[in-house]
Amino acid sequence: MLQISRFSILCLLLLIFGCESKNSSAKEYVIKGQAEGIYNGVRVYLKTSEGGQNSRVTDTAIVVNEFFEFKGTIEAPQMRILTVNGIAGQTALVLEPGETQAVIYKDSIYKSIAKGGDNNRVFTDYKKGYQLIIDKISRLQKDYMLSINDPEAVSEIQKRNKSMRSELKDYGLNFIKSNSGSDFSLILLDVITEQKGFNAALAQEVFKNMPIALLKKPYNKNLTQKIYFKIQNEVNKVEIKVGTKAADFTAPNPEGEMLTLSKILGEVTILDFWASWCKPCRVENPNFVRIYNKYHEKGLEIISVSLDRKGQKSAWVSAIEKDKLNWYNVSNLKFWQDPIAQLYNISSIPATFILDRDGKILATRLRGQALEAKIAELLAD
């Protein structure tokens, strides 16, 4: 597995954030579109690329004589979705300063073309390469159905399919590796590192080798920092399962005192992830209180990690007092971005881990009677 020192990454960040240009003025974009077969008056929309209800319209144009045009200003290249009233589906393009030519195919809008500017050229190459792998996998599926009665052929097809799917999984990162100088590649890396279980070692290598000139662009500063921390969080994750040692951490309690897990372990410790806004957590808290009061003198400790948001410290402290959580409480007030939650791969709460005196994980995800039964077993006289 590829290992890259934190020192070299930190040096890279110093170069990125220490050499900023101050020129961040907005620039004009123009999209000249051709829409053969689409009637006059039909509206064409540019939308942000977020999925579902988060997507929003950023510009609108009207088809006239099978042509349409968008004009506006944009600070930096961004992904946009293009849709047409009355036509199912959508197509994507990179919205960037300068002129872009778009050709809309109403019968297969996802095959529409966007030309103009380096980023759309790179994006087009990315889509072509991705589609080639998809086509190969589709052909393998057809070959599988034709060879279903031939065990040797089926075995060979399954091997090839596994290889192709592995190639598909890392296609984006390998594409960036070969096209590391474009803004689209940085945008793509941001998308990839949002996905669960991305190849952190490869992403780290790709990021390290991206040109400093790209990463130090003023409009890329926040995006670069965001990607860096996502990669580091994934690289630093530990495997959380019974029998492994719990990852150590330090975090502030309500008074601002820093508490370290390894220094407050009892004979048995419950590590509890919760939040004041989490109703199932609040319902479970009386059970924690009862177990703590019953077994604390026998060596039970509890440390509760709250996933409350920034600005909600008062709600967190109030919940501690109301629910009588008279044990160790810590929070970074960073919601799901809490570094401890990320370290423990927390995707839902409440979540519990039972640890022994050395910090080894003995059980996970226990609640109610099952939790008390386990504590009673571990602290039996």
Domain boundaries, the chain: 6-20+120-236, 27-115, 250-378
Q: What CATH number is given for 250-378 in this structure? A: 3.40.30.10
Question: What is the topology classification, in CATH, of domain 27-115?
Answer: Immunoglobulin-like (2.60.40)
Q: How much is the pTM?
A: 0.62
Round to whole Å and give the CA distance between 62 and 113.
18
User: Residue 83's CB: how many other CB atoms inside 10 A?
Assistant: 19
- Among the listed residues 257, 278, 256, 258, the one whose alpha carbon sits nearest the alpha carbon of residue 352: 278
> Which residue ranges in the chain fall short of pLDDT 50?
1-7, 10-11, 13-25
Residue pLDDT, tens place only, 325-379: 999 999 999 998 888 998 888 888 999 999 999 999 999 989 889 999 999 999 9
Q: What is the DSSP string of 159-213?
A: HHHHHHHHHHHTHHHHHHHHSTTSHHHHHHHHHHTTSTT--HHHHHHHHHTS-HH
- Residue listed under structure tokens 């948001």: 309
> 274 near 307, Cβ under 8 Å?
yes
Round to whole Å and give the CA distance between 337 and 333.
9
- Helix ranges, 200-355 (H): 200-208, 212-215, 221-236, 279-295, 313-323, 339-343
Q: In a 3-state reduction of DSSP, which class is residue 360?
A: strand
Mean pLDDT of the chain: 89
pLDDT for 53 = 54
Residue pLDDT, tens place only, 49-82: 865 556 789 999 999 999 999 999 998 999 999 9
Round to whole Å and give the CA distance between 289 and 329.
13
Q: In a 3-state reduction of DSSP, which class is residue 263?
A: helix
Q: In a 3-state reduction of DSSP, which class is residue 327?
A: coil
pLDDT for 17 = 46
- Among the listed residues 185, 223, 276, the one whose alpha carbon sits nearest the alpha carbon of residue 75: 223
The number of CA neighbours under 13 Å toward the Cβ of 46 is 23
User: How are beta strands 300-306 and 268-274 bridged, if at all?
Assistant: parallel
Largest Cα–Cα distance of the chain, in whole Å? Answer: 87
pLDDT for 235 = 79
